[in-house]
Structure 1
Amino acid sequence: MTLGIVMLVHTAFDRAEQMIRHWADAGCPVVVHVDRHVAQETHDAFVTAVADLADVSFSRRYRGEWGMWGLIAASQAASRQLLDRYPQIQHVYLASGACLPLRPVNELKTYLAARPDTDFIESVTTGDVQWTVGGLDRERFTLRFPFSWKRQRRLFDGYVRLQRLLRVRRRIPPGITPHLGSQWWCLTRQTLTAILNDPRRAAFDTYFRQVWIPDECYYQTLARLHTRRLESRSLTLAKFDFQGKPHIFYDDHAELLARSGCFVARKIWPQADALFHRFPSGSQADLEPHTGTIDRIFAQAVDRRTSGRRGLYMQSRFPFMERENGFTAAPYTVLQGFDAIIPDLTSWVTAQTGVVAHGHLFATDKAHFAGGAAVYRGGLSDNAHLRDYNPKMFLTNLVWNGRDRHQCFQFGPADNQAIKWMLARDAHASVWVVTGGWAVSLFCSGKPASAVRSEAARLQQVESRFISALQSPDARSRRHIMTLAEFLGSPVDVLQAIVDDMAGHRATALAQAPVMVNLDGFAVFLQDLKNQGMHPYLAGDFAPVGKVKSLQSQPRKAYVMGKK
């Protein structure tokens, strides 16, 4: 009889009885503490249920409220009772009614017998721990916390603010350095006895009584004073989420628990019948407790829960869209100004790259889906009113539902501009802009410059704001901005770059240049706009007379590599 169990129970008494019998059948004396919140009738029935077990006893009851001193008082009373009644015990293991032994108890006894002087308790300084939640790490030792964080939250927060305002600082008892760690420990008889019999225990207890969450620091701190050899880890697998709440293990966690090598796990769902049937599993005598694999899996789970998948929003994170893990799920391309110069742009892009090329998805009349579809994947309607109810989510859903293929769509100053900042900040967006493309549309309308001057001024102003968004310091999209004059100077090179960007390794040299609108007289049209008092500076510099260069395939420059 070398191992004794202190068990804290407050609910699921049928499972707690099952665990008590498991420990007792393996020859471990058990002292049980039942929370004082539990009704007396329930307590008495529980005591009667295990009355046939000779080495099972019950300790004085305390109110075990989370974050309060009662949990320490309960473990102190139960530990004292266990040590006094069973002098042959060498290790004391703190467990709960929600714990489940994963390996045979004899393996745990053998493991501890090989390490008779070792205390297993997670114990790290506040500067080294990363899991404190709520903004209180060092302050939990220098302020007072007489109020319950759960039941008296306003008093708790108000008293903390008052102490900060008055610059109140408690004096940490001399000779100790505060440490933190999991409350589930396994201590040697010598260390636990030294903690309970310490001549300064009254002073320590008075101090820790008003420390926040003392069950995470009391034994973790005092064990450092008395231990002969301490391993800063727990033999109990207990995982916590990003809010500091314990993870609950269910039936589908069976393989995960088996790989951990830990002797005990908590917190187990009371209805996880498959876990209680499977564990403790067969002999794993040579397996050292190691939670590295589980830690990585839980880290990934926390990352998925807090950040989510790129471009997929859950309702709890929806209000914080700007802080999401990426706006969209996959890369996509936005072309602005090109369709005014190349009328059949969508068909040409599809033929060259194989991507899904939409028209103007944010046009005022409707969303122009590829192929003229009225409904796109995911039930997205081309109705402009439905789209404009939340344009950002419209684009997010479109990319998410079509993430198996590269999406491309047209955009322009005549479209709904509600997504301009999304296009600027989305790292998945590749935005190609020919500034002044709207001038080509106005030129092709056949109307004189005097009739379109005000519309030209409006479109240029809208496009200027979009360019400013793309060039803002917090823009993350890939931006390629050129004036109309610059594009017409080397159109084939620009189009080849667009094809390369969309098609990636599948891109090939342009087999055929697209047909461009006839721009004869366009320079004169721009001069007429200037004469009307509207300066189309976004279009770039055009000679006032002469023809605009036609869009034809031009031989690419040769690069000659010579020997040194």
Structure 2
Amino acid sequence: MARIAFILLCHKDPKGIIAQAQRLTGSGDFVSIHFDARANPADFDMVRQALADNPGVTFAARRLKCGWGEWSLVGATLEAVRAAVRAFPSATHFYMLSGDCMPIKSAAYTHEFLDAHDLDYIENFDFFESDWIKTGFKEERLIYRHWFNERTQKKLFYGSYELQKRLGLVRQVPPDIQVMIGSQWWCLRRQTMEKVLAFCDERPDVVRFFQTTWIPDETFFQTIVPHVVPRREIRPRTLTFLMFTDYGMPVTFYNDHYDLLRGQDYLFARKISGEAIELRERLGALWKADDTRFAISNEAAGLYRFLTQRGRIGRRFGQRFWEAEGSLGRGRTLILIVAKKWHVAKRLTAAIRWHTGIPAVNYLFNELDAQLPDMGGIETTLAKRERHRRALVKMLFVLFDKPCIAICLDTSALGLIQDFLEDKADTRVLLIDSEFDEDYVRGHIERVGLAGRHSAPDHLNRLIPAVRSDLEHEAERIRDLEIEEFETISRDKGEQANAAALQQLLGVTPEVAAELARTPNLFDD
């Protein structure tokens, strides 16, 4: 009978990981865990201690700091695979999972399925000829070397790319390798995995090549497996069900998706919402059940297309079904830095990024150039950003992979502030009080188009009192909301009071808060 060694890559939710490992080993299978070295050490200690006496669990000998699009994800996978090969000689299959995956079939069905088909399951489509990559870099992933993380080191990533391009520093793909591409979620037989590891030992040149490609988790195993195994023994598909939104983000499944998931021709599914407790419990029970017969309908993809495309005909700006009553999610903290003087807020966000681990984004609803990562198209226009405000910010939480982020809003954005305050997330507001002297108000009048540089002085003088009053009223309307977690800072309050407000708002140490309050020229115009 098939016995599976699950390769589990994870970086959060220690209780969920413990439950996942206990569930999978309870069926006679195995789990090899790589817990991201960037993660909270206390989380890893909890997982290690809880599973220390479980003979079906092993851990990667070396933990790597993982980043999206980096070799580190492949390196972490190889570490967990090598640990599993050593620890579990009776394992017949190796199945790649993440902490967000859950079974959608029983263990009995899964074992029976793998016993009936002596095959490897991994997507492997020709890198250059297929249309697997829809937009963005294609051959650039391979012919240029990528040393930096595109999401956290954007300037270095694109700077090194432009420099190589300008100097013509292209490289050749290893001549005896046909590069393939596909989903990172695979299930491979033991003999295949041993051949892959042997290939890695015998061909360090190929390994080095992939170490500086971009997003190698979509190409490394997908290339090597067809190189060491006859094509007739490979099914170019994944056994893990997943779908993507029209913004390029994985669709998340919730409590009411149980029957839909159960009817898909797959063994596991991702991503299961961390808030979908009922769904997780039902899928966990399903894995332990004796069921080996499932009615396969595979209607999910068609239903999803209808709801997101045809189902919205006549309602162009209607909500997608995954956005209806959408939430940023409990357990997340959104900090709204509200300021009329954008340059002051930007100095503060720069200091927050420098002194803390909190991602801070500038005026994403006001400026196209807000230093946003590539988000699949949602970020391309200001109208689209505001229309999908919660989806946009929720994606930022996913991309930054942090429980707390900060964004800047103009004091005129009362509707946005109220909307975020109504969310289930912990929303905090920092109002940066500003004084509006005559020069600032004149400049504001020109920026918003009420008057130009050549307007008559009398016209400007009549506008100044009214505009100043309106600017001051915006701040008062925000105070009138009586926000529970609300702080203000200003030049007049002084560094000590400002530091206390920042400490309360950001949850940082007094020393860090003091550094933020001492940001050079913070309130200068």
TM over 0.5: yes
Question: Which residue in 2 is equivalent to 1:191?
Answer: 192
Q: Are residues 255 and 290 of structure 1, via their aligned partners in 2, closer, same or farther at CA, if it must alter by over 3 Å?
A: closer
Seen in structure 2, the aligned counterparts of structure 1 residues 112 and 289 have a Cα distance that, compared at 3 Å, is: farther
Taking only aligned residues, the RMSD between alpha carbons, in angstroms, comes to 2.7
Judging changes above 3 Å, is the alpha-carbon distance between structure 1 residues 275 and 71 closer, same or farther for their aligned structure 2 residues? same
1:370-449 alignment runs, 5 A limit: none
Match of 1:259 among 258, 263, 277: 263
How far the C-alpha of 1:178 sits from its partner, in A, is: 1.1
1:304 to partner: Cα distance? 7.1
Give the Cα–Cα distance (whole angstroms) in 2 for the partners of residues 241 and 157 of structure 1: 26
d(CA) in 1 for partners of 2:134, 2:86: 37
Shift of 1:309: 4.3
Pick from 286, 292, 301 the counterpart of residue 285 of structure 1. Answer: 292
Q: Compute the displacement of 1:294 (Å).
A: 1.9
| Distance of 1:290 and 1:153 partners within structure 2 | 43
- CA distance in 1 between partners of 2:148 and 2:303 (Å): 36
TM-score (norm 2): 0.56
Cα distance, 1:213 vs structure 2: 0.5
Distance 1:163 1:119, change over 3 A: same
**Which residue in the other structure is 1:217 paired with?**
219
Deviations 1:268-293 (A, max 9, x none): 111211111211535663559774x2
Partner in structure 1 of residue 446 of structure 2: none
* Residues in 1 aligned to 2:145 and 2:307: alpha-carbon distance in whole angstroms: 35
Q: Give yes or no for the alignment of 1:100 onto 2:106.
A: no
Aligned residue for 2:148?
147
Match of 1:65 among 60, 64, 67: 67
Q: Could you tell me how far apart the structure 2 residues matched to 1:179 and 1:16 are?
A: 31
- Equivalent runs, 1:454-469 vs 2, <5 Å: none
Tell me what 1:512 maps to.
Answer: none
Shift of 1:169: 2.0
Residue 12 of structure 1, CA deviation: 1.3
The question of 1:233 aligning with 2:237 is answered yes
Question: Structure 1 276/128 Cα, relative in aligned 2: closer, same or farther at 3 Å?
Answer: farther
Tell me which amino acid in the other structure corresponds to 2:300: I
1:142-178 CA-to-partner distances (Å, cap 9, x unmatched) read 1211110110112212222233333332211122111
Shift of residue 92, structure 1, vs aligned partner: 0.5
Question: Which residue type is aligned with residue 66 of structure 2?
Answer: G
Asked whether the equivalents of residues 7 and 80 of structure 2 are also in contact (C-alpha less than 8 Å), the reply is: yes
Determine if contact 1:195/1:201 at 8 Å carries over to the other structure. no
The structural deviation recorded for 1:241 is 2.4
Residue of structure 1 equivalent to 2:251: 247
Q: How big is the shift at 1:134?
A: 4.6
| Bigger Cα Rg | 1
Shift of 1:255: 2.4
Query: Deviation at 1:82?
Result: 0.8
How far is the alpha carbon of 1:101 from its aligned partner? 0.8
Residue 151 and residue 311 in structure 1: after superposition, are their counterparts in 2 closer, same or farther (change >3 A)? Answer: closer
Distance change (3 Å), C-alpha of 1:203 and 1:102: same
Q: How many residue pairs were aligned? A: 319
Counterpart position of 1:15:
16
Contact 1:4 1:28 in 2 (8 A): yes
The change in CA–CA distance for 1:111 and 1:137 in structure 2 (over 3 A counts) is same
Q: Which amino acid letter does the alignment assign opposite residue 297 of structure 1? A: L
Match of 2:426 in 1: none
How far did 1:265 drift? 0.7
How far 1:128 sits from its partner (Å)?
5.2
Hey, what does 1:353 align to over in structure 2?
A: none
Q: Distance in 2 between matches of 1:287 and 1:203?
A: 45
Structure 1 residue 39: deviation in Å? 2.4
Bigger relative contact order (CA 8 A; separation at least 6): 2
- For residue 148 of structure 2, give the secondary structure of its aligned residue in structure 1: coil
Q: Distance in 2 between matches of 1:184 and 1:275?
A: 21
Give, in angstroms, the shift of residue 37 of structure 1.
Answer: 0.6
Conserved in 2, the CA contact under 8 Å of 1:261 and 1:288?
no
**Residue pair 1:123, 1:220 contacting (<8 A) in 2 also:** yes
Greater alpha carbon shift after TM alignment, 29-38 vs 307-316: 307-316
- Aligned partners of 2:69 and 2:215 also within 8 Å: yes
Match of 1:381 in 2: none
- Structure 2 CA distance for partners of 1:190 and 1:318, relative to 1, 3 Å: closer
Q: Which residue in 2 is equivalent to 1:41?
A: 42
**Secondary structure of 1:203's match?**
helix
Asked whether the 8 Å contact 2:132–2:182 carries over to 1, the reply is no
How far, CA to CA, are the matches of 2:56 and 2:184 in structure 1? 24
1:288 and 1:6 map into 2 onto residues whose CA distance is 28
- 1:32 is paired with a residue whose SS is strand
AA paired with 1:122? E
1:320 Cα deviation after fit: 7.0
With over 3 angstroms needed to count, the CA separation of the structure-2 counterparts of 1:311 and 1:5, relative to structure 1, is closer
Q: Which position in structure 2 is the counterpart of 1:357?
A: none
Deviations 1:421-463 (A, max 9, x none): xxxxxxxxxxxxxxxxxxxxxxxxxxxxxxxxxxxxxxxxxxx
2: CA distance between counterparts of 1:194 and 1:289?
Answer: 34
Question: In structure 2, what is the equivalent of residue 434 of structure 1?
Answer: none
Counterpart among 284, 296, 299 of residue 302 in structure 2? 296
Cα distance change of structure 1 residues 44 and 312 upon mapping to structure 2, 3 Å threshold: closer
Question: Residue 132 of structure 1 corresponds to which residue in structure 2?
Answer: 133
TM-score w.r.t. the length of structure 1 is 0.53
Please tell me whether the aligned partners of residues 132 and 244 of structure 1 are also in contact (alpha carbons under 8 angstroms). no
- Check whether the contact 1:263–1:289 (CA below 8 A) recurs between aligned residues: no
Determine if contact 2:97/2:185 at 8 Å carries over to the other structure.
yes
Q: CA deviation at 1:200?
A: 3.5
The equivalent position to 1:86 in structure 2, one of 49, 63, 88, is 88
Query: Aligned pair in 2 of structure 1 residues 244, 131: CA closer, same or farther (>3 Å)?
Result: farther
Q: Is the 8 A contact 2:144 2:169 kept in 1?
A: yes
Match of 1:175 in 2: 176
Q: Is the 2:132–2:181 Cα contact (8 Å) retained in structure 1?
A: no
SS at match of 1:260: coil
1:5 aligns with 2:6: yes
* Matches of 1:160 and 1:302, distance apart in 2: 36
The residue number in structure 1 matching 2:122 is 121
Shift of 1:318: 7.9
5+ long unaligned stretches in structure 2 = 320-364, 366-377, 388-525
How far 1:127 sits from its partner (Å)? Answer: 4.2
Residue 77 of structure 2 corresponds to 75
Code of the aligned partner of 1:70:
S
Quick one: distance in 2 between partners of 1:289 and 1:83?
Answer: 33
Q: Which whole-Å CA distance do the structure 1 matches of 2:212 and 2:296 have between them?
A: 34
Q: Distance in 1 between matches of 2:196 and 2:19?
A: 31
Q: Kindly indicate whether the alpha-carbon contact (under 8 Å) linking 2:17 and 2:47 is maintained by their aligned counterparts in 1.
A: no
Structure 1 SS opposite 2:217: helix
Which SS does the other structure have where 1:279 is aligned? helix
2:205 is aligned to 203
| SS at 2:263 equivalent | helix
Residue identity over aligned pairs, in percent, reads: 29
What CA distance in whole angstroms lies between the structure 2 residues aligned with 1:289 and 1:202? 43
Cα offset, 1:302, TM superposition: 4.8
Q: Taking structure 1 as reference, are residues 145 and 114 closer, same or farther at Cα in structure 2, changes over 3 Å only?
A: same
Query: Cα gap change, 1:312/1:72 in structure 2, threshold over 3 Å: closer, same or farther?
Result: closer
1:271 pairs with one of 264, 268, 275 = 275
- Contact 2:108–2:292 under 8 Å retained in 1: no
Paired residues of 2:3 and 2:30 also in contact (CA < 8 A): no
Deviation at 1:247, TM superposition (A): 1.8
Cα separation, 2, equivalents of 1:158 and 1:304: 41
Are the counterparts in 1 of residues 14 and 46 from structure 2 also a CA contact under 8 Å? no
